[in-house]
Structure formats: C-alpha cells, structure tokens
Amino acid sequence: MRRQLVAGNWKMHGSLEANSSLLQALVAAAPAACDVAVCVPFPYLAQAQQLLAGSSIALGAQDCSMHEQGAFTGEVSAGMLREFGCGYVIVGHSERRSLHGEGDAAVAAKAERALAAGLIPIVCVGETLQQREQEQTEAVIGLQLDAVAHLLGRHAARIVLAYEPVWAIGTGRSASAAQAQQVHAFMRARLGHRGVDAGSVPMLYGGSVKPDNARELFAQPDIDGGLIGGASLKAADFLGIVDAARSH
Ligand code: PEP
C-alpha cells in the first residue's frame, strides 16, 4: 500500500532564525501516520538536520548534480546530501527545467545519482498553460515520464513522482481535484504500458496546495500526497495540509 507523503519545497526562502521557528513548530506538532519531509536550501541542511534529529520529519534537498563528484563548480552531489541526513531530493522541478535549461535526460541522470546515493528522488513533471490549452498535456508528461521509466522499472517504490502543472505553481490557481486525478491516472496507465509496477509508485500533486484544497486533492485515488511550495513556509498551513493527508 502506498503511504501519503507531504513534502515541503522551501525554494530559496529561509534564514537561520526563520528556519529555527518553523522547524521547531513542525517538530512540536509531531506529525505521524503520513510521511512528511522538508526540502531546504543547501546551506541550511546542517541546521535542519540538527533540528529534525529524533523527529519523524525527513530532510530533503531541492536538486543534486548528475555527476558523482569532480570539477563541477557550484554543484552539490547526491552523496553529499546523504551525508547531511537527506532522505529525499527534488529533481526536475519546473523552475530548474525552465530557468536552468534542464531537460529530461538531465533529470533522469540526477534521479539515477540520487538512487545510487540512497536517496529517494522526487521527480517533477508537468505541462505549461500553453501546452494544456493546446491539449498537449498527456504528450508532454508522457515524454517526461518515459525518460525515467527505466529507473521506475527497477525501483517503482523508491521514486516519488510529482505532477506539478506549471500554471498552478505559485499562482494561487490549483488544478481542480478532477484535473489532477485525470493526469495522475494517465501517469499510472502510461507507466503500466512501459512495464512499470505503476500501482507501487507514489505520486504527489503540487501547485498551490493549501489547507483548504488539500483534502479534496488527497482524496483522489491516484494522488498520494503533495509537494508544497509557498504553504510549506508557514507552520500552520503546512501542518493543515499534513492533517489533510493524514485522514486518507
Ligand atoms: C512548488 O514549487 O513545488 C510548488 C508546488 O509551489 P506552490 O505550492 O507555491 O504552488
């Protein structure tokens, strides 16, 4: 059975002081009965590792290198993330794809490095508004999934997929529960056709999830939790979303 996961993506937000209050509030609430993770900026990994020690909240990062080590100035390897207690790493977030030109092959290579280092990659896929309006959603997501299907074939339960429609990220305009479910069902069917044990793959929805829409999204049969941006920066909102996941 797939467990629900709620993962926060802090993006480039935070400070030592703000992180400390946020993480202390999350730890004090001791969320259980669903998996919870926070993906923090690299410089705050050590701080977050220390504050989360002994809690059930997992630590994650927001990207990793496709290389194991070497002359790659500015990059951070999956092995380094593991040393700082990370259990998860986001790869292929739409902001990395659009702002840093990361394509499907790079995303797959990063996911493979993450797996080799013992991390669970959270692989993001999603269509732009223009692609949706041109009815290319399934074609776009199909290709993004095909790039990681070989990895999912070997590690179906050790990779998390996150469907994040680009038009819903940070816009306050979430996909409806029906729209999100439709894409998640398509994703399972597509992976099934590629020989993946698609029923074992955890699939999150991300894009303007808030406490007041989380319950309906997480109630969908193919949605196993959420990847949360803006709302993961406020303890009450993030815990409200965790609470919605817990009830499924
Ligand atoms: C994200 O960036 O992964 C995300 C889902 O952001 P938001 O929740 O702010 O839309």
CA of 110 to the centre of ligand 1 (A): 20
At residue 134, the pLDDT reads: 97
Confidence of residue 1 (pLDDT cuts 50, 70, 90): confident
Reported as a single tens digit per residue, the pLDDT across 27-67 is 999 767 789 999 999 999 999 999 999 999 999 999 999 99
C-beta 204 within 6 A of ligand 1: no
Nearest CA to ligand 1 atom 1: 229
What pLDDT does residue 33 have? 73
Q: What average pLDDT does this structure show over 125-149?
A: 97
What is the position in ligand 1's atom list of the atom closest to the CA of 230?
Answer: 9
CATH number of 5-246: 3.20.20.70
Using CA positions, which residue lies closest to atom 7 of ligand 1? Answer: 229
Q: What pLDDT does 22 receive?
A: 98
pLDDT of res. 50:
98
Atom of ligand 1 nearest to the CA of 9: 3
User: Residue with the nearest Cα to atom 3 of ligand 1?
Assistant: 229
User: Is the shortest distance between the CB of 207 and ligand 1 below 6 Å?
Assistant: yes
Given pLDDT bands bounded at 50, 70 and 90, which one contains residue 246?
confident
**Does any ligand 1 atom lie closer than 6 A to the CB of residue 227?**
yes
Least confident of 12-21, 24-33, 88-97, 145-154: 24-33
C-alpha–C-alpha distance, residues 10 and 230, integer Å = 7
Q: What are the sequence ranges of the domains in the chain? A: 5-246
The token pair that represents 111 in the structure block: 């996911």
Q: Determine the pLDDT at residue 32.
A: 74
The model's pLDDT over 172-211, given as tens digits with 9 standing for 90+, comes to 898 999 999 999 999 999 999 999 999 999 999 999 999 9
pLDDT tens digits along 217-238: 999 999 999 999 999 999 999 9
CA of 28 to the centre of ligand 1 (A): 24
Catalytic-labelled residue, pool 93, 95, 112, 184 = 93
Q: Could you read off the pLDDT of 157-168 as tens digits, one per residue?
A: 899 999 999 999
CA of 94 to the centre of ligand 1 (A): 10
Q: What percent of the chain has pLDDT over 70?
A: 99
Token digits for 129?
């508004």
Active site residue 164: yes
- CA-closest candidate to residue 124, choices 146, 150, 145: 145
CB-CB contact of 6 with 36 (8 Å)? yes
Band (pLDDT 50/70/90 cuts) for residue 244 is very high
